[in-house]
């Protein structure tokens, strides 16, 4: 009886790829792992991506809402030195893309970035998902990484060369 229940649950999970996904998000507040339920709790957007003439309507939370779970600054907090934050996106096949955090901020740019878990046909297949970054407005789909497993917010700002050398003057 117990075996049957575990088996049924296992089969149910296998049949719903969206339930098996999780993503690691690293940011100023630390590292969080978000599962499908955590992603499903966020407001959703739909963005159409044209990859080599094939269009899909991808849907999922705004990337900024996902990054905020790890403490990424947004809106008015995304100012001054915080504008030197970048986001490193890593996929299961080792593919990586990077962009400025402000590019993902809906308070800064109209073009959206979403972490899609579905297209118009349902949960994303293994080649594309379970999670795909979809970058609205890009002329090429190269930054729309498939099979995203990790997001990392990195503050890469440093003092400009003049200020750095001034520190060493005696
Ligand atoms: N994980 C991963 N994502 C990726 C790539 C890749 O090699 N690996 N290639 C990129 C490039 S160069 C393109 S053109 C698009 C192709 O999207 P499609 O597979 O939906 O046609 O995926 C992008 N996302
Ligand atoms: Mo490409």
Mean pLDDT value of segment 88-117: 97
56 in any annotated domain? yes
61 in any annotated domain? yes
16 in any annotated domain? no
Residue 40, judged by CB atoms within 10 A of its CB (0-12, 13-18, 19+), counts as middle
Position 166 scores a pLDDT of 64
pLDDT in tens, 3-46: 545 555 444 444 444 445 799 999 999 999 999 999 999 999 99
Domain containing residue 70: CATH number: 3.90.420.10
110 in any annotated domain? yes
Position 165 scores a pLDDT of 63
Counting the structural domains of the chain, the total is 1
Does the pLDDT value for residue 87 go beyond 50? yes
163 in any annotated domain? no
90 Cα–ligand 2 center, Å = 16
119 Cα–ligand 1 center, Å = 15
108 in any annotated domain? yes
End-to-end CA distance of the chain: 79
Q: What SS3 state is found at 43?
A: coil
9 in any annotated domain? no
Give the ligand with the smallest distance to the CA of 146.
1
Position 162 scores a pLDDT of 86
- Per the structure, the complete domain to which residue 125 belongs is given by 23-157
Mean pLDDT value of segment 123-152: 97
Position 21 scores a pLDDT of 75
User: Model's pTM, two decimal places?
Assistant: 0.87
């Amino acid at each position: 009886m117990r075996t049957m229940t575990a088996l049924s649950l296992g089969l149910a999970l296998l049949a719903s790829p969206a339930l098996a996904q999780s993503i690691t998000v690293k940011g100023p507040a630390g590292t969080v792992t978000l599962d499908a339920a955590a992603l499903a709790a966020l407001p959703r957007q739909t963005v159409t991506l044209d990859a080599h003439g094939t269009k899909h309507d991808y849907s999922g939370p705004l990337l900024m809402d996902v990054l905020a779970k790890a403490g990424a600054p947004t809106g008015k907090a995304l100012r001054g030195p915080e504008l030197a934050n970048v986001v490193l996106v890593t996929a299961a096949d080792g593919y990586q893309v990077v962009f400025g955090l402000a590019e993902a901020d809906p308070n800064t740019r109209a073009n959206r970035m979403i972490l899609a878990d579905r297209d118009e046909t349902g949960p994303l297949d293994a080649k594309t998902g379970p999670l795909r970054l979809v970058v609205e407005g890009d002329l090429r789909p190269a930054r729309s990484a498939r099979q995203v497993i990790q997001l990392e917010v990195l503050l890469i700002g440093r003092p400009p060369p003049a200020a750095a050398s001034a520190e060493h003057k005696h």
